[in-house]
């Protein structure tokens, strides 16, 4: 590749950097050594710890790149894209040059493998299309609205199915990158090689849990008919879970709810305060069984936290029948709509035979708030709706990335199955997670009979 400038952009969160400093530095060094014969510019946001070339926003950053490019085509990539494929990058570059595009974006390729490019003619003006104050990011895709007229944008499409694995090759969320880098011994890889590697070593995809659902209260509504233990989670177990999450998977999303309404826990405030010690994103998933302004305000005061109210119905009689509470649908609707701070509030409809017909009206009723539509779990067998699943089955995403913890500390195979695979009263989170590898391995060998539900389950492709 000649006449090009590789621009490595550091937009990583400072706290994340501090936590994984050693690993990130190693990955960055690997990228630098891969590009040893290329012209490189390393730049970043105000928090960058790897460069002194720091910028406030994308517009000023690209203005600087324009000055440095000096008649060279520019390749934009993440400063921690240690698995960047030079062969595929060359294909993208040639695609842009041969078709004389201003810019070439990539599609169907996980982030971090193949960068995007800007032609030497266009880089001079590109910064002028960017709004002032636009946050710095290492991908070109979100920098401007590509519908702007006058920019000739090419899209390089990959035929690889790697995108179906929903992974990226950037060191965020503890993706597979650190592990693959070690295996590849710094040779230049291609999308094809990664495809093959992950087909042969599916375990690489299952590192740490990324979604942990915790039921703290058993008080639920009529959607979930399975009766597990009826108790409140103790503060000690909750503390143990939070401490272990912090060690094992500090980037995991924590969802508090499962089937029970967390606001029905008598010590919700005490449990919630334990989340102050961690920075994970948290979802509080209420079944709308308790309308508490105090608890709502408390949840919404925590950064990185979303609050979901399951309302599900638009007809009062059906609502009463399923929710079995003293509030009316009208009261709940009024409560949610009157919240002053609705920025992180979601409304949910649990899809089942009784709610299916009302979806359109529900969306109209809640048009001013984000709406989630979620299928009832297997335990709502009588009224569960069935979805069309993809034709080709693959190992279940839940086994690859989720843990479901019940209020007594026991852990389920997944939230569709009643198989209990361990208990936090005896075991650690990490040992149960590792034990579950066995089930994922079976799925990887297309053995789908690991529990009563698995063979007929239509949730294996659902991504939480």
Question: Which sign does the torsion angle of CA 317, 320, 323, 327 carry?
Answer: positive
Binding footprint of ligand SF4, residue count (CB under 6 A): 13
- Paired residues of 117 in beta bridges: 75, 104
Q: 186 is written with which tokens?
A: 């710094």
Q: From residue 389, how far is each of 85, 100, 160, 407 by CA, in Å? A: 33, 41, 21, 31
- Judged by beta carbon, residue 249 or residue 414, the one nearer ligand SF4 is 414
- Judged by beta carbon, residue 252 or residue 412, the one nearer ligand SF4 is 412
Least Å from the CB of residue 359 to ligand SF4: 23
The full DSSP string for 274-330 is: GGGG----EEEEE-SS---HHHHHHHHHSTTEEEEEE---SSHHHHHHHH-SSS-HH
Q: Give yes or no for residue 453 binding ligand SF4 (CB under 6 A).
A: yes
Least Å from the CB of residue 443 to ligand SF4: 7
Least Å from the CB of residue 174 to ligand SF4: 21
Q: Give yes or no for residue 459 binding ligand SF4 (CB under 6 A).
A: yes
Least Å from the CB of residue 390 to ligand SF4: 13
- Judged by beta carbon, residue 48 or residue 416, the one nearer ligand SF4 is 416
Q: Give yes or no for residue 454 binding ligand SF4 (CB under 6 A).
A: yes
Least Å from the CB of residue 257 to ligand SF4: 17
Site mask, ligand SF4, residues 279-308, x = CB under 6 A? ------------------------------
- Judged by beta carbon, residue 364 or residue 455, the one nearer ligand SF4 is 455
Contacts of 265 (CB under 8 A, 6+ apart): 216, 217, 232, 233, 271
- Judged by beta carbon, residue 193 or residue 451, the one nearer ligand SF4 is 451
- Judged by beta carbon, residue 109 or residue 454, the one nearer ligand SF4 is 454
Contacts of 444 (CB under 8 A, 6+ apart): 202, 203, 395
Least Å from the CB of residue 56 to ligand SF4: 45
Q: 269 is written with which tokens?
A: 């405030």
Least Å from the CB of residue 421 to ligand SF4: 10
The torsion angles phi and psi of 69, rounded to 5 degrees, stand at -65, -40
Q: Which helix (H) or strand (E) holds 359?
A: helix 359-365
Q: 278 is written with which tokens?
A: 């961690």
Interacting residue with ligand SF4 among 252, 396, 421, 424 (CB under 6 A):
396
Binders in 163-182 for ligand SF4, by CB under 6 A:
none
Neighbours of 338 (CB within 10 A): 9
Interacting residue with ligand SF4 among 398, 406, 421, 429 (CB under 6 A):
398
Least Å from the CB of residue 353 to ligand SF4: 20
Instruction: Judge contact between 429 and 248, C-beta under 8 A.
Output: yes
Least Å from the CB of residue 395 to ligand SF4: 9
Which DSSP letter does residue 456 get? G
Q: Give yes or no for residue 212 binding ligand SF4 (CB under 6 A).
A: no
- Judged by beta carbon, residue 47 or residue 458, the one nearer ligand SF4 is 458
Least Å from the CB of residue 348 to ligand SF4: 19
Q: Give yes or no for residue 314 binding ligand SF4 (CB under 6 A).
A: no
Instruction: Judge contact between 408 and 229, C-beta under 8 A.
Output: yes
- Of 31-39, 189-197, 299-307, 455-463, the segment contacting ligand SF4 by CB under 6 A is 455-463
Instruction: Judge contact between 188 and 106, C-beta under 8 A.
Output: no
CA 218, chain centre distance (Å): 27
Helix (H, G, I), strand (E, B) or coil at 93: helix
Least Å from the CB of residue 459 to ligand SF4: 4
- Judged by beta carbon, residue 41 or residue 462, the one nearer ligand SF4 is 462
Q: From residue 350, how far is each of 230, 356, 372, 374, 400 by CA, in Å? A: 22, 9, 8, 5, 24
Binders in 399-418 for ligand SF4, by CB under 6 A:
399, 413-414, 416-417
Beta strand segments in 186-304, E: 211-214, 253-256, 282-286
- Of 98-106, 303-311, 323-331, 451-459, the segment contacting ligand SF4 by CB under 6 A is 451-459
Question: Can you tell me which residue has the tokens 């501090």?
Answer: 18
- Judged by beta carbon, residue 344 or residue 375, the one nearer ligand SF4 is 375
Q: Give yes or no for residue 432 binding ligand SF4 (CB under 6 A).
A: no
- Judged by beta carbon, residue 334 or residue 434, the one nearer ligand SF4 is 434
Integer Cα distance of 54 and 46 in angstroms: 5
- Paired residues of 256 in beta bridges: 214, 284
Look at the chain and count its residues. Answer: 464
Question: Can you tell me which residue has the tokens 């409560």?
Answer: 335
- Judged by beta carbon, residue 28 or residue 224, the one nearer ligand SF4 is 224
Instruction: List residues binding ligand SF4 (CB under 6 A).
Output: 396, 398-399, 413-414, 416-417, 451, 453-454, 457, 459-460
């Amino acid at each position: 590749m000649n006449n090009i400038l590789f621009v490595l952009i550091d937009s990583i969160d400072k706290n994340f950097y501090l936590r994984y400093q050693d690993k990130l530095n190693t990955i960055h060094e690997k990228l630098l050594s891969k590009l040893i014969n290329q012209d490189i510019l390393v730049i970043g946001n105000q928090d960058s710890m790897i460069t002194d070339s720091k910028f406030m926003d994308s517009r000023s950053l690209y203005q600087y790149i324009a000055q440095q490019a000096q008649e060279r085509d520019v390749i934009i990539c993440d400063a921690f894209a240690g698995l960047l494929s030079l062969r595929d990058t060359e294909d993208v570059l040639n695609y842009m040059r041969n078709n004389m595009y201003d810019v070439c974006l990539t599609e169907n390729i996980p982030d971090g493998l193949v960068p995007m490019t800007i032609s030497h003619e266009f880089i001079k003006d590109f910064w002028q299309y960017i709004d002032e104050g636009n946050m710095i990011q290492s991908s070109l895709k979100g920098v401007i609205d590509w519908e702007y007229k006058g920019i000739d944008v090419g899209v390089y499409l990959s035929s690889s199915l790697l995108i179906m694995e929903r992974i990226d090759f950037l060191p965020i969320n503890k993706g597979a990158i650190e592990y693959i880098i070690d295996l590849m011994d710094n040779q230049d890889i291609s999308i094809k090689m990664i495809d093959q590697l992950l087909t042969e070593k599916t375990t690489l995809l299952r590192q740490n849990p990324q979604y942990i659902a915790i039921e703290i209260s058993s008080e639920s509504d009529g959607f979930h008919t399975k009766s597990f233990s009826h108790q409140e989670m103790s503060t000690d177990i909750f503390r143990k879970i939070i401490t272990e999450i912090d060690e094992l998977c500090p980037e995991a999303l924590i969802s508090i709810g499962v089937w029970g309404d967390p606001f029905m826990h008598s010590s919700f405030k005490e449990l919630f305060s334990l989340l102050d010690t961690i920075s994970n994103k948290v979802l509080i998933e209420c079944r709308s069984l308790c309308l508490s302004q105090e608890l709502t305000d408390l949840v919404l005061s925590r950064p990185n936290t979303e609050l979901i109210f399951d309302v599900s119905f638009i007809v009062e009689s059906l609502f009463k029948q399923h929710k079995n509470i003293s509030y009316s649908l009208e009261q709940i609707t009024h409560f949610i709509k009157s919240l002053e701070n609705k920025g992180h509030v979601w409304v949910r409809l649990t899809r089942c035979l009784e709610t299916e017909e009302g979806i359109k009206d529900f969306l109209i009723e809640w048009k001013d708030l984000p709406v989630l539509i979620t299928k009832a779990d297997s335990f709502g067998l009588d009224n569960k709706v069935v979805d069309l699943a993809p034709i080709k089955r693959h190992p279940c995403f839940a086994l690859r990335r989720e843990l479901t913890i019940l209020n007594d500390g026991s852990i389920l195979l997944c939230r569709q199955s009643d198989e209990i695979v361990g208990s936090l009263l005896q075991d650690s989170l990490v040992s149960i997670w590792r034990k579950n590898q066995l089930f994922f391995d079976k799925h990887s060998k297309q053995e789908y009979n690991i529990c009563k539900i698995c063979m007929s389950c239509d949730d294996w492709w659902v991504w939480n």
